[in-house]
Structure 1
Amino acid sequence: MLAFFWPGVAHYDSVAQYQQVVSGAYYDWHPPAMARLWTVFYRLGWTGQAPMFALQTLFYWIGLGLVAAALARSGARKAALGVFALGLWPPLLGWQALVVKDGQMAAALLCATGLVAWKRLQGRPLGWSGTAALVLLLGYAALVRSNAIFAVAPLAVGLFAPWRWRDWRRRFVLIGATTLAVLALSPMINHGLFGAEPSDVEATQPLFDIAGIAHRAGPEAVPLLPTTTWRRIEAKRCHSSVLWDIFSIGKRCDFIQRGLAGRPRREIFSAWARAIGEHPGSYLSHRFAHWNATTRWFVPWHFPQAVPQAQSLPNRLALGSPGRQLVVYNRFAGWLANSPAGAPILALGVALAVLALARPAQSAAHGLAVPLALSATAMELSFLFVSIASDWRYHLWSMLAAWLSAILLVTEPLPKRRAWIALAGLALIALSALAARLMLPQIGDDYQALIR
């Protein structure tokens, strides 16, 4: 993978973060934890995106390799081969070649899972050094994406102690408390510890939701901006439930954000809460439309932001690109990502099936499968309320965790009737997704197709 994809692909976010690394001026629109880690390599003289690409590739394969080796050692050789096949699946591999926060998060969590699997599947404790590594990996993963904690908390609770359903109430309380604590502490860590300047990134979620509510409930529903502004929004079709980007500065609907410039954040958040409380139906309609888009259930086959980027964004920072071989490879990877097999909604179905079938008290493999499935489920459900875009890469970890949990699940015999019911449910999701892809009008594969 290092040879084929070297030196990694610099995504738009990668270029923005590397500018911070070079300039030494950090802000919190992108995760400061990743930029600060990148700075360590930069100051050691290893410039460009290659060190971060090497790091996430090593974490990715160390994690998968340890899980596969642990399974093979326990006699589950077919499952071990399945782990490697999962890691080599083109959409996952293609997107993992991008030096971006989603790949960093997925790689760190895979490495953490591998460390625990290597010890737990042979009934041995992790030890102090392993526990320290686990804390570092989970901590980095939690800070490298704004919503990563929804995936990290359930996984962490299951990695630090074998999962048992009999104490599920205590564990869910712990998951909830951990999630709230990290959400509360993250701004202090980003601004205090990492020295990142605030960029008002928090206001993007309220703006995205408010525009969706105003479109459905009428311009008078949200008095945050003048009625004439909301009518202009309708005239210019500024009511996407797919992504926030059309409101950003420089895009065709940036007059909304400009109109809010200088407004106190409290006023924006208050208007957001009031609009949700007064128009819950419009809010839920907007959020479900977005969740459908980001989980790629009822969408056309060619739906933007699924094909992995093959070349780095043009830049003046000497961030290079892999060879031309990646163009053909990523075209095939994108076709698979656009198919029902690449739909995050199918991965969510797999995770739910694992939770219904796993017996963690009777199997160490099932004891690992449950927290992986919980992590994928929590991450996908979080997009119902905390998400402003529908890029395929946001689901990298969820898809890895869900399918890895399924591989761990099938290492033990399953109750046949319940297994057949689960397979029927997955088939229904896949067939309905396929029907949508065949029947709905095509949009296109590129970013510009979404912001026109």
Structure 2
Amino acid sequence: MRTARPSHLLAFLPLGAAVALSLSYWPGLVTYDSVRQYDQALSGAFDDWHPPMMEGLWRLILPLWPGPAPMLLLQLGLYAAGMAGLIAWALRRGRPGVAMGLGLCALLPLSVALMGEVLKDCLMAGALTAAVALMLLSQESRSVMPRAGAAALVFLAATLRFNAFLAGVPILLLALGPAVLVSRLRMVLATAVMSVLLLLAMPLANQALGAAPSDVNLSLVIFDLAGITEHGGQDAFPAMKVEQPIAAVHHCYTPVKWDSFSWWVDPLCPLNFEQVRRDFHASHISALPYWIEQIFRHPVAYAQHRLAHWNINARFWVHDEIERPVQRESAPNDWNFHVTAGPALDFVDAAAIRSADTPLGWPCAWMALAFGLMLAARRMPSARTIGMLAGSALFYGLGYAVFSVASELRYYLWTMMAAAMAAVIALGDMPALPRSVRWRAGMEMAAPPLVITLVAALARL
């Protein structure tokens, strides 16, 4: 194994710059979500609308340091430690170019800006980055502790988003090593077992923290039933105390997000969250089974609704900006938490806004890149590492085709980061390949993102 020279430490400079730029949002930009979470962290009365695990961690820190700053440092600390670990992993293998490329990944404008916002997506991305680094650094170690730590971080991520299992399973597969990857049957069985375990992580954590049920799943149910109603022309909701439900849906529905049916919009939609919740409970209807039944009864309308939403969500065939890609100011709050404008924040915000108008801000392009990397990975020396990162990026991104209820770029933070890291490792592998294999791998890696990016660019003309 080669020893990293002092000059190789330059690979850490982009990471340091990225962390410093994210800290320009000090003490951490709070959104409406994080304001609500902070309020519950103060009171200790949790519900499950937002992940109680994040609120529980916040409550533990509050006696030592109130405010958003400790959560900002926690998510940034996990992320920075993970990126530093990945750079160290590359340097240990005598690959300074890959190390520098991984460092530069941290400077993606959208990730720099988003990591300055106190969000469950950022804490999840930080936990997954640290898990990948621990897992890779432990590949030559006989100790099980680093792999156990990686698994614990993946399970932490799974308590922050219920669809995080799609990102976590590929990481755990590689952490389990050759014993699982030796055959397809073992991989399928391991995937099934780990998916179930990761899916259980959030409800078990919520129960352990005593979180009250908020019927948060109704946001997805209402959005999809409204979409089925709008596209199918038939009322997909159960009998409710709402006059002309089809007309109400037509007036309120937008494929961009579900918020028009929430309780915080003005004017309130006649068919709104509270009304639906009351009627579901009054009729003793279980929301999720009813939702599944309606999907099977109206598959075409459901697919039309989901594709229309995911097209916007993934920024594929769209013309105009969907919504501001990152926030610049904290949401109104009772504690006067706010970020202070300055040259660094102005620079980061402007760079993130501009990059969102390029393929760097199009989730469809990142998912296409991850798909291309998965195709090419089998030809690469670092096949398992590339496949793990690309698979984690792709499957997590694809999950929003089913589970998304809004069109925020923060949903795809991990997809962007993991795909970028996989691409750097793959490019570092290319020179070692025979020329004919290099050409095939390059075509497999580049063709999907080039096609998707070209089509998406044509939509914007």
TM (norm. structure 1) is 0.89
Letter in 2 for 1:20: Q
**Deviation digits for residues 358-393 of structure 1, max 9, x if unmatched?**
138x73x33211111111111112112111111100
1:199–1:258 distance in 2 versus 1, CA, 3 Å: closer
Letter in 2 for 1:77: P
1:180–1:255 distance in 2 versus 1, CA, 3 Å: farther
1:369–1:289 distance in 2 versus 1, CA, 3 Å: same
Distance in 2, matches of 1:89 and 1:162, equals 33
Distance in 1, matches of 2:444 and 2:176, equals 32
Q: CA RMSD in A?
A: 2.2
Which of 291, 303, 317 matches 2:335? 317
Tell whether the 8 Å contact from 2:105 to 2:417 is kept in structure 1 after alignment: yes
1:132–1:395 distance in 2 versus 1, CA, 3 Å: same
Deviation of 1:223 (Å): 4.5
**Deviation digits for residues 113-137 of structure 1, max 9, x if unmatched?**
11122233xx334x24323422321
Which of 446, 450, 457 matches 1:423? 446
1:49-448 alignment runs, 5 A limit: 49-120=68-139, 123-125=140-142, 127-161=143-177, 166-184=182-200, 186-190=202-206, 192-225=207-240, 228-234=243-249, 236=251, 238-251=252-265, 252-256=267-271, 257-262=273-278, 263-264=280-281, 266-306=285-325, 308-325=326-343, 326-359=345-378, 363=381, 365-413=382-430, 414=433, 415=437, 416-438=439-461
Tell whether the 8 Å contact from 2:375 to 2:444 is kept in structure 1 after alignment: no
2:34 aligned residue: 14
Tell whether the 8 Å contact from 2:376 to 2:444 is kept in structure 1 after alignment: no
**Deviation digits for residues 154-209 of structure 1, max 9, x if unmatched?**
2222233259865233223322332233334532330x211111100011111110
1:162–1:343 distance in 2 versus 1, CA, 3 Å: farther
TM (norm. structure 2) is 0.87
1:343–1:235 distance in 2 versus 1, CA, 3 Å: closer
Distance in 1, matches of 2:138 and 2:199, equals 30
- Range that drifts further, 129-138 or 176-185: 176-185
1:221–1:10 distance in 2 versus 1, CA, 3 Å: closer
Letter in 2 for 1:335: R
Tell whether the 8 Å contact from 1:164 to 1:367 is kept in structure 2 after alignment: no
Identity of aligned residues (%): 31
Distance in 1, matches of 2:371 and 2:89, equals 24
Deviation of 1:217 (Å): 1.1
Residue segments in structure 1 that go unaligned for 5+ positions in a row:
439-452
Residue segments in structure 2 that go unaligned for 5+ positions in a row:
1-18
Tell whether the 8 Å contact from 2:48 to 2:216 is kept in structure 1 after alignment: yes
Q: Secondary structure at the match of 2:195?
A: helix
- Range that drifts further, 313-322 or 74-83: 313-322
